[in-house]
Structure 1
Amino acid sequence: MTRDPLDILHETFGFRSFRGVQDQVVGRVLDGRNTLAVMPTGAGKSLCYQLPSLALDGTCLVVSPLIALMHDQLRAAEAVGIRAATLTSVDENREETIARFRAGELDLLYVAPERASNESFRNLLRQSKLALFAIDEAHCVSEWGHDFRPDYRLLRPLLDSFPEVPRLALTATADAHTQADILDQLGIPRDGLIVAGFDRPNIRYAITPRENTNAQVAEFIAAQQGPGIVYAQTRAGVEKLAERLGGAGRPVLPYHAGLDPAVRRRNQAAFVASEDMVIVATVAFGMGIDKPDVRFVVHAGLPKSIEGYYQETGRAGRDGDPAVAQLFWGADDFARARQRIGEVEAARQPGERARLTALGALVETAGCRRRILLRHFGEDAPETCGNCDNCLSPPSAIDASVTAQKFLSAVFRTGMMYGTGYIEGILLGQSSERSLMNGHESLSVFGIVEGDEVALVKPVARALLLRDALRTNAHGGLEFGPEARPILKGEKTLSLVLPPKRERRRRSKAGGEPNPIGDPLFEALRAKRRELAQEAQVPPYVIFHDSVLRDMAAARPRSIGELGRISGVGARKLEAYGSAFLDVIREAA
């Protein structure tokens, strides 16, 4: 090591100090110690290996799970003057990259785990000096993680082949069990674990029962500004929702594995470059995106786990500016999830059931959403956060046990053969040809619900399915689950969360400190950024984040020296873009 890390931080990245635990992680790496860093998305994980790649002699090898993610990170690294390259199946300059590596002309080399575990690649690595192994998205190595990738299991022999090269594993989503597994799988000592915390205070969490998915998502998006991601659960759902949202006056594109690869790449590139596009996608979309200015993430259905929810919502607000995570869920989501759990191998079922129970607690709570999230990852949290729907507009909770008993009785007395809608009709005394033919209008439960209790029937049905008191059979009929009898017998109560009355919101910022939209100088700086980004064929955020433009608009620097003192303006970007932005500021004076 020949250069001071703080000098590199300032000169290359434009920052005067480290954030959070970055200094601890970088310090361990520069000391040659193996490390696992668990840092929330947006906390600056990539800097923890980018900076050492400049400080240490040799090439830092970065193992990353997706080609799109590597290419995004490559653009960002090159923009600040780091000598970087990718070695992937789609790169046409592979021979040139290999020659640069052998000549010691690369600070960073990005590869996929499949290549990293290849013996011929291992031989290539012996032909030049290695400074560091960085394993990004390290939770993929753990079978306990939510995104297990078998190829990550093959990395240990490669790492052990170069015992003198330190290893740095990085992830944003790993509970205590997964952390321990990552340490074991990658040969990192227990004292090499650094956990920065999981809180993303700039994200506002909101969770709403699903009624009309398309209409609810469309209304939500109409109230938001900036680019966003909408996650649908199926390819057909992606297509349908993208078509519905496309008529809302803003660009909307679909993304899923069934699309032609060229279309998929084109849609992804358009989203990455856009400042206002909505992309509707399956959860396969996102890990490969290093886009910091996503202002909202919408789940149009239940995610697979809290870990998945945390990672997917974490794709919003990576730049630290306010963002919103909105989830719409239905009881049928939980019914389908339980059916899927029954199809997996027996050894995995307890863990999957625990994950589903944790999701149920998250969507059903009347308390702070963030507190439940953080406690799931083993982190203590205050009772309220002030930036989730329940903290901002506290709901009320009522004891709906009697209504639940009536609903369960109706399911039992009709033979556990009918769906939710039919049972609701029986309870409300709605006569139909079917109920007459079945003789169900003579049952004691027919018309047993009336008055104010009518409004509780649908949410009670949803809560019973969520809590596994009811299940749906293969024909869509309701039948008892293991939690039914305790509720029927009065041994367990059913508390129902009633959200506050919803007010229709106009188009607004995500909350907190917004970008100064409408400020002529800020808009002029954004326009210049778009122009420069098009010329360089990179996304606008690679030039500068919104926060940097915001500081420019506020400080109005008059010289290159003054501009260079703004956080996020490193030497390379100052040289490449400084004059152009100063001209915009002078014209606005």
Structure 2
Amino acid sequence: MVEEKDLLGALKEYFGYDTFRPLQRQIIDSVFAGNDNMVIMPTGGGKSICYQLPATLLPGVTLVISPLIALMKDQVDGLTANGISAAFLNSSQAEDVQQEIFSRISKNEIKLLYVAPESLQYIDAVFSSGKISLIAIDEAHCISSWGHDFRPAYTQLGYLKSRHPETPIIALTATADKATRKDICDQLNIPAAKQFIASFDRKNLSLEVRPGNKKLDQIIAFLKKRPDQSGIIYCLSRKNTEELAVKLKSKGFDAEAYHAGLSHSDRIKIQEDFIQDKNQIICATVAFGMGIDKSNVRWVIHYNLPKNLEGYYQEIGRAGRDGLPSSTLLFHSYADVVQLRKFAVNSGNSEVQMAKLDRMKQYADALSCRRKILLSYFGELISEDCGNCDVCKNPPEFFDGTILTQKALSTIFRLKGQESISLVIDVLRGAHNAQVLEKGYQQLKTFGIATDVSWRDWQQYLIQLINLGYVEIAFHDQNKLRLTPLAKKVLFEKEKVRLAHVIQREAAKEPVVAEKNSENTLFEKLRQLRLKLAREEDIPPYLIFNDATLKEMEKHRPMTDEEFMQINGVGRQKLQNYGYNFIKEIIAFSKEKREKKPRKKGNTYKATFELYKEGHSVEEISKKRKLSPTTVYSHLVTLYEKGEAVDLRRFVSKADLVAVKKAKEVLDDPATLKAYFEHFQEAIDYTSIKLALSILKKEENS
């Protein structure tokens, strides 16, 4: 097992983070233990690090199977920006390019190799000597016909385990229900894989559903309140994407249409322009998105009802990957349902697709917390409403539905979980139809116990119970209704259930948000700098830093290399490549603000100095002032250089002071802290180096 210091060191060094996200550490430990792994983690949850970080520490190559060239290129560009050697292979590359990659592999110069499933034939001979340390299969749901994005080329991947039996396989996807998860493991020949299912709860995404009338007017109002924000509008047809893009352009919005009918070169250009922030809005069919790793998509709109919740969840997951607040909006209409039913009937597994469409419609029609519905669909049950969806913000009227619920749950229990929603309702209402009589259900104690509730209302109440997590639909077994563990609380533990009255609700109105002039904020300055550097390097801006990292820079305003390294998302390579430019911008902005704004009495340095004179330690000052220790040390250095009675030698050992003095005499570039840090091979930290240099400078000038 790899030491924790090595894992955390690699995490900060290459990815810029000090701590792991939930489940990442357990998954990585399992990889190093040699296990096969099935990872279900929502978009933006940090799936990639689960194989990219082990790849940096494993001896051989990590082979990554990925479905799209654009996605592979994006991942490789991101890894290279982080200082990790990576490459991708595909059939469109010239032979000399492929041979160069093979040569680098033979010299152990590549840690991650991305390959499309169709291109596996090119690498068989190269890896016959057992150089593969790990096999990662990204977007693993593509292997399953149960999944929402089935790709036939993925079905050949089962041979990888047979060919490399000692090499651990990690399969990763953002969305897969129980049936899909089992199918993935079976087809990949990893039935004993350790399963890691992260929380599907993306709290930063607001959820909203509206009736699909006057959609264009609603979209324009929505966009006007989100100027300069990137977003995707998903449409059901190619025609919709083109018509909508034209209409939005005529209203002054920067929009492009994207669909499979465009030429390959046009699709690539539109996608790259969006990734590089050259255009703002994409009106797309579901052909767009899997290859998008863009972290600053701030909103996603569904112009039409999606065909299932898996696809919907993955598509809205493309918003807010950086963790910042983002919006999602879904329009639905009867016309969408009719069109999608036609698609489902003509699909290879029409019964399953029809049932999943019904579940999607139930979500759109829901009268209870939408986040509960999404999470319960993926087997994650929560008790509290989210407060960040349209139903929670504009709740319907509720009543005590405990008795109705008990009647429904008891009926499902007595039917032994073997019937679908329609027959459950027939039994509840005492219907004497052929199906009920043939199966003898008129003999059940619950037969006809709720004749006073209409068939339509019962349908809505059962949908609510499914959405609340008391009942689930077994899609893989003829859509039968079954009880979940939560049902026991109602049947045996006297838990109360509140149901919503079945009424037609009006759509929640778009909140009025005052437009802010953000041009003069530090975030905007840093965003423009990021865009300039990205254009110079011809890479997507978010590969330099994502919006969340820029927001943290805006908040903490790092002005030294060491302070800059404390920002989440800043690793060693990015400090080296971009630190100087961003620190310079932050210092310039802060200086400008100080000149414009009169300084308050009792400035921050004086407050630190008073606590220092009282005898408080740096740690105590840090806690009292709610500042990082790094900032406190920076204050003390400034005070010392201004001639205040601060004894910096208290904080630096004599050995470190002597070492820094010697280094100063031999270094080619003694002006940067980074030069010293690398000279000492990280044995002396940035703070000690900075303190020592300040002491030496004062001694030289005295």
Give the TM-score band, short-chain normalised.
Answer: 0.7 to 0.9
Give unmatched runs, 5+ long, in structure 1: 399-459, 467-492, 510-515
Q: Does 1:558 align with 2:559?
A: yes
In structure 1, the partner of 2:12 is: 10
Quick one: distance in 2 between partners of 1:305 and 1:498?
23
In structure 2, the partner of 1:78 is: 80
Alpha-carbon distance, 1:350 to partner: 2.4
Quick one: distance in 2 between partners of 1:146 and 1:501?
30
Quick one: distance in 1 between partners of 2:16 and 2:529?
20
Alpha-carbon distance, 1:501 to partner: 5.8
**CA 1:337/1:79 → structure 2, altered by over 3 Å: closer, same or farther?**
same
- How high is the TM-score relative to the length of structure 2? 0.67
1:438-457 pair list within 5 angstroms: none
Alpha-carbon distance, 1:187 to partner: 2.4
Q: Does 1:214 align with 2:221?
A: no
1:372-387 pair list within 5 angstroms: 372-387=373-388
Name the SS for the 1:498 alignment partner: coil
Name the SS for the 2:553 alignment partner: helix
**CA 1:212/1:532 → structure 2, altered by over 3 Å: closer, same or farther?**
same
Q: Does 1:542 align with 2:546?
A: no
Tell whether the 8 Å contact from 1:305 to 1:356 is kept in structure 2 after alignment: yes
| Aligned-pair identity (%) | 42
In structure 2, the partner of 1:367 is: 368
Aligned with 2:131 (options 126, 129, 133): 129
Quick one: distance in 1 between partners of 2:515 and 2:291?
28
Tell whether the 8 Å contact from 1:39 to 1:195 is kept in structure 2 after alignment: yes
Over the aligned positions, Cα root-mean-square deviation in angstroms equals 2.4
Letter in 2 for 1:235: R
Name the SS for the 2:559 alignment partner: coil
Q: Does 1:569 align with 2:570?
A: yes
Give unmatched runs, 5+ long, in structure 2: 400-456, 464-499, 592-702
Quick one: distance in 1 between partners of 2:387 and 2:268?
39
Deviations 1:19-46 (A, max 9, x none): 0110011111112111011111111111
Q: Does 1:288 align with 2:291?
A: yes
Deviates more, 1:528-537 or 1:84-93: 84-93
Quick one: distance in 1 between partners of 2:20 and 2:173?
18
Tell whether the 8 Å contact from 1:292 to 1:317 is kept in structure 2 after alignment: yes
In structure 2, the partner of 1:298 is: 301
Tell whether the 8 Å contact from 1:222 to 1:507 is kept in structure 2 after alignment: no
Tell whether the 8 Å contact from 2:255 to 2:282 is kept in structure 1 after alignment: yes
Quick one: distance in 2 between partners of 1:51 and 1:327?
36
Quick one: distance in 2 between partners of 1:349 and 1:494?
33
Quick one: distance in 1 between partners of 2:530 and 2:41?
29
**CA 1:98/1:219 → structure 2, altered by over 3 Å: closer, same or farther?**
same
**CA 1:167/1:508 → structure 2, altered by over 3 Å: closer, same or farther?**
farther
Tell whether the 8 Å contact from 2:158 to 2:189 is kept in structure 1 after alignment: yes
1:143-542 pair list within 5 angstroms: 143-190=145-192, 192-225=194-227, 226-274=229-277, 277-345=280-348, 348-396=349-397, 495-499=502-506, 502=509, 505-506=512-513, 517-518=518-519, 520-542=521-543
Deviates more, 1:230-239 or 1:271-280: 271-280
Alpha-carbon distance, 1:517 to partner: 3.8
Alpha-carbon distance, 1:10 to partner: 1.3
**CA 1:325/1:340 → structure 2, altered by over 3 Å: closer, same or farther?**
same
Tell whether the 8 Å contact from 2:518 to 2:524 is kept in structure 1 after alignment: yes
Name the SS for the 1:193 alignment partner: strand
Alpha-carbon distance, 1:264 to partner: 1.4
In structure 2, the partner of 1:59 is: 61
Alpha-carbon distance, 1:268 to partner: 0.8
In structure 1, the partner of 2:694 is: none
In structure 2, the partner of 1:114 is: 118
Letter in 2 for 1:540: P
Alpha-carbon distance, 1:506 to partner: 4.3
Tell whether the 8 Å contact from 1:228 to 1:276 is kept in structure 2 after alignment: no
In structure 2, the partner of 1:585 is: 586
Deviates more, 1:499-508 or 1:354-363: 499-508
Quick one: distance in 2 between partners of 1:163 and 1:331?
51
Deviates more, 1:15-24 or 1:386-395: 386-395
Deviations 1:206-235 (A, max 9, x none): 111101232222222222241000011111
**CA 1:320/1:494 → structure 2, altered by over 3 Å: closer, same or farther?**
closer
In structure 2, the partner of 1:105 is: 109
Letter in 2 for 1:296: W
Letter in 1 for 2:188: L
Tell whether the 8 Å contact from 1:87 to 1:110 is kept in structure 2 after alignment: yes
Deviations 1:464-512 (A, max 9, x none): xx9xxxxxxxxxxxxxxxxxxxxxxxxxx99333125625634669xxx
Tell whether the 8 Å contact from 2:255 to 2:279 is kept in structure 1 after alignment: no
Quick one: distance in 1 between partners of 2:579 and 2:501?
62
Quick one: distance in 2 between partners of 1:561 and 1:26?
28
- How high is the TM-score relative to the length of structure 1? 0.79
Quick one: distance in 1 between partners of 2:503 and 2:47?
40
Q: Which has the larger radius of gyration?
A: 2
Tell whether the 8 Å contact from 1:22 to 1:48 is kept in structure 2 after alignment: yes
Quick one: distance in 2 between partners of 1:187 and 1:508?
54
Deviations 1:259-309 (A, max 9, x none): 122221111111001176001111100001111110011110011111110
Question: How many equivalent pairs are there?
Answer: 489
Letter in 2 for 1:251: D
Aligned with 1:39 (options 38, 41, 45): 41
Name the SS for the 1:557 alignment partner: coil
Quick one: distance in 1 between partners of 2:573 and 2:180?
39
